[in-house]
Amino acid sequence: MALDGNINDASKTLVLGLATGFGAIGPGVGVGIIFGKTIEAVGRQPELRGQLQGMMWLGFALTEAIVFYALGMAFVAYAIT
């Protein structure tokens, strides 16, 4: 037979990848929105660039942390099953 491995381990690995990938979709969209809105705001009020840029990086870091939560939960689900 062509499949010598355990189908259960293969399915768990596939689900691990899918969970991490789906968990990265939302933050990817969120980061795009954050940067886009920052560019719009700087275009409207260039004198606030420094303040907006600091808030942008904070929003970027908090949004990007969601990916790591998704990855962590995927590893936990992989280990439990």
Q: What's 42's domain CATH number?
A: 1.20.20.10
What are the tens digits of pLDDT across the range 10-62? 888 888 888 888 889 999 999 999 999 999 999 999 999 999 999 999 999 99
Give the per-residue pLDDT at 3: 60
Give the per-residue pLDDT at 1: 47
* Domain residue limits at 67: 26-80
For residue 75, is pLDDT > 80? yes
Give the per-residue pLDDT at 9: 80
Higher pLDDT, residue 33 or 81: 33
CB-based contact 55:15 (threshold 8 Å): no
Q: Count of domains in the chain?
A: 1
Cα torsion angle, 73, 75, 79, 81, sign: positive
Task: Look at residue 42 and tell me if it is in a domain.
Answer: yes
Q: pTM of the entire structure? A: 0.73
Task: Look at residue 21 and tell me if it is in a domain.
Answer: no
